[in-house]
Amino acid sequence: MKRCLTSCLLAVLLFAGAAHAAPMVEFPTPAGSREAIVCRPEGAGPFPAVVFNHPSIVDGRGVQGAAARGYDL
């Protein structure tokens, strides 16, 4: 029962995040350029900033693969 509830909750969270398309931006780095996903809450702000920099997760598995592992992209 607990496993079923956990699976259902995970599915709801994943599909809820899929409805919102976050914009991709590109910025220069010393090694070339990098892409990033910008996730911003609705409203006027101000908002606290969170920077998550772990390129191997997205580069190696793609955005969908990272989202499937629980990352809220």
**pLDDT of 5-56, one tens digit each?**
676 666 656 555 554 567 788 888 787 877 777 777 888 888 888 776 665 5
DSSP state of 65: H
Does residue 61 lie within any of the structural domains?
Answer: yes
> Is position 42 within any domain?
yes
Q: How many domains is the chain partitioned into structurally?
A: 1
pTM, full prediction:
0.37
Instruction: Find, among 35, 33, 22, 30, the residue nearest to 71 by Cα.
Output: 22
- The range of the structural domain enclosing residue 45 comes to 2-68
CA distances from 24 to 4, 35, 65 (A): 34, 7, 16
Greater pLDDT, 65 or 58: 65
Does residue 73 lie within any of the structural domains?
no
Q: Residue 32 corresponds to which amino acid?
A: G
Sorted by sequence, the CB contacts under 8 Å of residue 72 that are 6+ apart come out as 17, 39
